[in-house]
Chains A and B, each alone.
Chain A
């Protein structure tokens, strides 16, 4: 009896050895696969004369970009073009985050409205938008909505705002700080502040789509606050606004912030669908660069690194916010 107990179990039941063997096998397998793929890559690339090199980044791009915050023309190098694309991406992502958060919060809180119609419409909006692919919505916004706007004198004109096929023009300060509105110069609208239809369609599509998801996050967050909290706040004599600000929102944010993080990251990644509506974002410039240079690997590395960096930045900010919200709870 004692002998049997003390006899060591066979090696395949060894609690220390087996995990390491499993890991070793998995690690070896991964290494072999990676080595195989890399070997092929190097062989195929050198056969095609495309071995890894970053020199092309310094050569003139010789293509133009329609709109960019960063001044860019065809004689500037590729890296400037990619940078201009990145700035365009950041622009649409930044405005998109703000817009989607506002819309999502509005719709999410509308699901708690005392008005039955408002409640139902909020529900319908969420259910309709979430079940239609974003890409389809983007081409719809661009080709069906924005490109169907009237042009020239027929454009939709409000004081200080003109909405036409060539874009949205807003009044603003021009050089010398004098206030001026949009004006029609030989049949073409001009104005201090301009958003192109490509940008507009992408931004609208992203805001409307992500807004629906954020609305769900917000609704879930508010619903997670027990009803008793409302009642307690009311019985303490707090008005509805005050109880919302002091009691409900701080608790709801605990649930909302992590959910927002996911939605923000997905908005940033979805901005790469800009190619579908002609907006020159990072992905679109990268694709053009690949086409001119044939440097597939380098271009994809740049793309992946850039999007990872954007995601990371969003996550960092949101994690900081999360910490803030969580501490407050204590």
Chain B
């Protein structure tokens, strides 16, 4: 009897656990993917997306109160794929120091804020993020005044350098200057606009950030020709949208929504021709690849917890990756950045979507 009494709580615990497991397996058996995050977003009716907000080309709040940019288009694409409507996004301007806390505490669903993917940020023991595919391969650069006589990083020894605090840029700068054994003065600011304001007002001899960001900001300087980018690239900066580790289903949905943009470019599907391609796929049972990709057959969407036609919705909303790039930072924009590393793999770039199978 005493033995049984001792055992009873354990037994009841075990049976409860067993029951719970059984129920859980039933739930997954019945096909409904369990994702609290996706349910939450659907229930709310909009995606909350963390962006920079003040970076032309990536995310910028215009005078008309509308956001635009590459990072913003990623938010729109994900909203289109999950909710079917690219306008169902609420943007949150986050500065670099608050972005991870905002993601971790669930304040934003998706962080699309020119964030560099790194080991610490990805690792469960670090910031615990889950990174989607890189949407912009960048490198850290340094911008100086054309007349300053600075030719390389070494010339900046003992000089003040403006940098945004809480960024990988800040850490890379510290590393590089330490390697060069060059003491320097890092002037740190909480936000990008303050950083550039201090640089333009001549407080720093140089400003350092991602090269794309420097180029983007420079286009808007009163005299862009008076500033030049040093040839040195301080680091690799793969700018990548991120979600938290907490909900793998949601992370996968975001990941493949982004891959779909890249795959669409590879397949030649654009915003303009997506409807025609869909009609073609529907009419032609032999186009198996296209049919699967556009959700005419198979259940890619369901596997991810997304609607079956998520790719069509996305492309119809924002176009494929190439279109997004051109429109925001490429030839179609003021920035006129070269595709460079961000070309498709077939053209020697790094943009490579795994197969949709």
Contacts and interface: CB of A to CB of B under 8 A. Distances in A.
Q: Within 8 Å by CB, do A and B touch in the complex?
A: yes
Given A66-B185, A165-B202, A294-B128, A288 B166 contact: yes
B190 A275 contact: yes
A291 B165 contact: yes
A75 B174 CA distance: 9
Interface in B119-165: 120, 124-128, 158-160, 165
A37 B68 CA distance: 39
A291 B203 contact: no
B101 interface: yes
Contacts of B170: 63, 288
Contact of B194 (A47, A278, A296): A278
A49 interface: yes
B208 interface: no
Nearest to B168: A292
B187 interface: yes
A68 B138 CA distance: 33
A287 B166 contact: yes
A165 B178 CA distance: 26
A47 B194 CA distance: 35
A164 to B, nearest CB: 10
B186 to A, nearest CB: 5
A143 B101 contact: no
Contact of B178 (A44, A48, A74): A74
A198 B171 CA distance: 21
B104 A62 contact: no
A89 interface: no
A197 interface: yes
A66 B187 contact: yes
Interface string A267-280: 00000000110101
A47 B37 CA distance: 15
Interface string B179-190: 000001111111
B201 interface: yes
Contact of B185 (A67, A73, A75, A165): A67
Given A49-B125, A278-B188, A148 B171 contact: no
**Size band of the A side of the interface?**
35 or more
Contacts of B126: 294
Contact of A148 (B165, B174, B201, B244): B201
B188 A165 contact: no
A188 B184 CA distance: 13
A290 interface: yes
B124 A49 contact: yes
A181 B213 CA distance: 41
B166 A294 contact: no
Contacts of A143: 194, 197-198, 201
A157 B158 CA distance: 23
Contact of A287 (B100, B160, B165, B175): B165
Nearest to B99: A291
**Size band of the B side of the interface?**
35 or more
Nearest to A139: B194
Contacts of A44: 105
B96 interface: yes
Contacts of B104: 48, 50, 294
A63 B174 contact: yes
A166 B128 contact: no
Contact of B188 (A49, A73, A284): A284
A275 B97 CA distance: 12
Contact of B159 (A75, A147, A148, A188): A188
Contacts of B202: 147, 151, 165
B275 interface: no
A64 interface: yes
Contact of B165 (A49, A74, A284): A284
Contacts of A290: 97, 101
Interface string A85-119: 00000000000000000000000000000000000
Interface string A56-72: 00000011111100000
B194 A48 contact: no
A264 B186 CA distance: 30
Given A63-B174, A143-B197, A48 B246 contact: yes
Contact of B174 (A47, A50, A74, A294): A74
A240 B159 CA distance: 54
Contacts of B203: 147, 165-166, 197
Interface string A286-304: 0110111010100000000
Q: 6 smallest A-B Cβ distances: which pairs?
A: A291-B166, A74-B174, A147-B201, A291-B97, A64-B186, A294-B127
9 contacts: A48-B128, A49-B125, A62-B175, A66-B187, A198-B187, A278-B194, A291-B165, A292-B166, A294-B104
Interface of B: 96-97, 100-101, 104-105, 120, 124-128, 158-160, 165-166, 170-171, 173-175, 177-178, 184-190, 194, 197-198, 201-203, 244-246
Interface of A: 44, 47-50, 62-67, 73-75, 143, 147-148, 151, 165-166, 188, 197-198, 275-276, 278, 280, 284, 287-288, 290-292, 294, 296
